[in-house]
Chain A
Amino acid sequence: MSSGDATELRGELLDDFYTESDEHLGTIRRELLALEQPAAPSEHAAALDRCFRSMHTMKGNAAIIGLHSAEALTHAAEDLFRLLLRQPVGPDADALQLLGRVAGSLEAIVAAHRREQPIPEADTLIKELREFVAGLTNHPPAADGAPASGPAAPVSAVARWVCVFSPTQELDRRGVNINSVRARLGELGEIVSAVPSVQPKGAMQFEFTVAVRQPPADPGAWAADGMVFRPALADVVEPERRTAGPSPAPSSSLYIAPSHVVRVDLARLDELMRITGEMVIHRSRLADRIARSPDDHAALQEVNLALGRSLRELRDAITRVRLVPVGEVFNRMPFVVRDLARDTGKQVRLVVDGEHTEIDKYVVERLKEPLLHLVRNAVSHGVELPSVRVAAGKPPEAVLRLSASTVGSSVVIRICDDGAGIDRTAIVARAQTLGISAPPDPSDEDILDVLCRAGFSTRDEADRAAGRGVGMAVVRTTIRELGGSLSFAAERGVRTQFNLRLPLTLSIAETFLVTAGEHTCALPQEFVREILPVTPADLLQIQHAEVLSCRGEILPVLRLRGLFGLSSPPGAPMTALVLNTDNGQVALVVDRVHGRREVVVRALKDPLVQVPGITGATELGDGRPVLILDAAALAGRRVAPTARMAERISA
């Protein structure tokens, strides 16, 4: 989109973008400065993380307003951040200098856009970033764990050692405790991480990773004080596969000093989050009042923005406290798979990936049953007997993959087996004998719908692991209640895969408020790739479907008015939001975009209002519920306007 088109967008949106860009650029500059100063690795990691988040948010914002040079530049810079975040030591001077230039270039791009001047090109800098990243990745850490850092790294670390310390009362009496150990290790080198663990008999153990200048000289003396050394295996600490997406708080748990850990009841955190949610609503009302007031309240507006920032920080802080590794549920799966495979005479290897991905504690608790069900289903329905597999030319041992990753503000969990896939014809036939209607040529979505019907089962008699015909319905209901979505893909004889997409945080989401006629809905921002004005001439009719041609792409169109059974008045201005989801892309055409709003998400728990296309509801401070649209369902074309809705409205 050219800057000319962009000016036609609502100025409010652009104002938001400029204000936020200033904020994020400020953060990036501040943190880059902090990174130049010597500090503990944990502080450097936190500064890098803040920098990375700001860069990531800027990328999303730039994409939304169509500022592609800024988007491309932040994207390239993100790659460098990811790499730096994986390093045990802080970024070197070259990296910092490069990132400083990225910030400068971004500033220039945003300023040019604001003044509607030609956007300065960033291609050279992007190329430099790519080369720099390539240079770092071509020299991975050596086997002894020496980090691939430049000369200006804060520690001239040559090797990493792991020290396991087991405190005892006897040692404590001699003054050897966790604090004295930290001090002594600090003399050897830089403590990279400290991980507490509880041993089988309830004893505590601490595992320190230390970047040492020289290997510990006299292991015997250390051992007498309850410390055992071994060289660290760098690749075990940071496996490559963990780099799929930005982690919300990378490795932060590694940096917690064990003596400072507090256990908190989840209900207390809920209460904190609820209060924060109320404050967010109050602030929105305040912003409304200021905006509607005829007087100029620039000073008040500034305070209001600052309050908004603090509230976001508070919310993020509470969110982080609530996050736990999804490994909490993954850990039980090897046993489940082993037992079930043994009972059914099958051979299954479970591959777990991304178990460190963090997600809300409440979500993890609620996920236990659905995940268990899906894993059991995979073993009992998906995986074939070894003889059948061999006959089909597959290895006798099946592979079941369970993986988690963070994508934007969602966590995606995948359960994939390389078994028999799904026999669509059999499913449809089975559905018909049970009186469940199913289309003759079902899509993956249709099959999932059938599988999730209460009462559907492919087994005539309930077996031990699956087949009670309630499981999938419960799986889908639970995921919907958590504000997430379930999708499914299967290839006959090759694989069956279930994808669970869950919000990282339950309570608050960044949304765009959109309208159609008198209806206002909220649309989660993370799915919005672009917003552009459209005229009826931009929308083409191809057979029965409407499409929008956008930058050479043909996108299916869904009108929000249609969802509510309203027709579109001819010639009225419209706005399209290009949504990017797991189910593909769709252009959602609305009357107007009312700007952005942080909303407190409330799940629609009652089956009466659990309908496709709607994921929850919120309230904006005036006592009226506003529906939150389900972008994935809209893109999946699962939502058709209902004639009934039209009748009711015209009645």
Chain B
Amino acid sequence: MSNTESYILFELAGTAYAVRSRDVLHIEMLEHITPVPNSAPWVEGVVFSRGQVIPAINLRVRFGLPNEARTARTRLVFIRHEERTIALIVDSAREFRSIATESIRPLGETALGISGHHVAGVATLNQQLVLVLDLPSVLRTAQAESAPLVAPLSN
């Protein structure tokens, strides 16, 4: 039996990424971001959306990719994870795709030589590689890194 799940594909530095569509609230054009002093380098600032003030993560910086100027295609992908709402800044958001669960392989098995940071696995769609975002990882390490006054716990 084949389990499939709906994903939203987006692009970052020429690479396709996927995030489960049930984690995505909505996608918006990028208008104004207010920088927040003393936040983590990859926290671009806060945006205002639907009556809420929401932190926006620059995924390029988060992934250690070169930061580039925003274009007309730059999008904010609003995700909901464990009671938190976060906007991810991506180069462009593309389409909905169904991906079979068993076609997602852990990164280690692929020997692609790509860094496994924040990536849950890799899938192939129409001969194109798609990296599946590890949402908890993108957001989790956040707490320790964003506290500037005292160093994070050693564990």
Contacts and interface: CB of A to CB of B under 8 A. Distances in A.
B150 A642 contact: no
A65 B46 CA distance: 33
Of residues A450, A612, A641, which shows the largest number of chain B Cβ atoms within 10 Å of its Cβ? A612
B148 A611 contact: yes
Given A611-B146, A625-B46, A644 B41 contact: yes
Contacts of B101: none
Interface stretch (B7-15, B32-40, B92-100, B115-123): B32-40
Contact of A624 (B32, B85, B86, B150): B32
Contacts, number: 109
B127 interface: no
Interface in A629-651: 638-639, 641-642, 644-645, 648-649, 651
Contact of A435 (B35, B139, B142, B155): B155
A109 B143 CA distance: 53
Contact of B34 (A606, A612, A626, A651): A626
A436 interface: yes
A355 B143 CA distance: 36
Contacts of B84: 605-606
A617 B38 contact: no
A533 interface: no
B53 A648 contact: no
Interface string B141-155: 011001011110111
By secondary structure, the A interface counts as loop
A123 interface: no
A204 interface: no
B47 interface: yes
B28 to A, nearest CB: 11
A624 B41 contact: no
Contacts of A607: 142-143, 146
A36 B34 CA distance: 53
Contacts of A638: 149
Contacts of A612: 38, 148-149
Interface residues of A, number: 43
Contacts of A644: 41
A450 B41 CA distance: 23
Interface string B21-64: 00000000001101111111101011110001111010000000
A569 interface: no
A436 B57 CA distance: 26
Nearest to B151: A437
A642 B52 CA distance: 26
Contacts of B148: 611-612, 642
B35 A564 contact: yes
B53 A625 contact: yes
A651 B35 CA distance: 14
B110 interface: no
Of residues B36, B41, B67, which shows the largest number of chain A Cβ atoms within 10 Å of its Cβ? B36
A639 to B, nearest CB: 7
A449 interface: yes
A609 B39 contact: yes
A604 interface: yes
Contact of B86 (A455, A563, A606, A617): A606
Contact of B43 (A609, A625, A639): A609
A612 B151 CA distance: 15
B150 A437 contact: yes
A618 to B, nearest CB: 8
Contact of A639 (B38, B55, B86, B146): B38
Contacts of B85: 606
Contact of B150 (A450, A606, A627, A648): A450
A648 B41 contact: yes
A575 to B, nearest CB: 19
A608 B150 contact: no
Given A619-B48, A642-B148, A608 B34 contact: no
A623 B38 contact: no
Contacts of B67: 651
Contacts of B153: 434-436, 453-455
A614 interface: yes
B53 A602 contact: yes
B150 A613 contact: no
A280 to B, nearest CB: 14
Interface in A420-462: 434-438, 449-450, 453-455
A565 interface: yes
A638 B37 CA distance: 13
A366 to B, nearest CB: 15
Contacts of B47: 625
Given A608-B142, A611-B37, A617-B48, 11 more contacts: A435-B154, A435-B155, A436-B150, A607-B142, A608-B86, A608-B139, A611-B36, A614-B36, A623-B31, A625-B34, A625-B47
Closest 7 CB pairs of A and B: A435-B154, A611-B38, A437-B151, A617-B53, A608-B55, A625-B34, A624-B32
Interface of A: 434-438, 449-450, 453-455, 519, 563-565, 602, 604-614, 616-617, 619, 623-627, 638-639, 641-642, 644-645, 648-649, 651
9 contacts: A437-B150, A605-B84, A606-B84, A606-B85, A607-B142, A612-B149, A613-B38, A625-B32, A645-B38
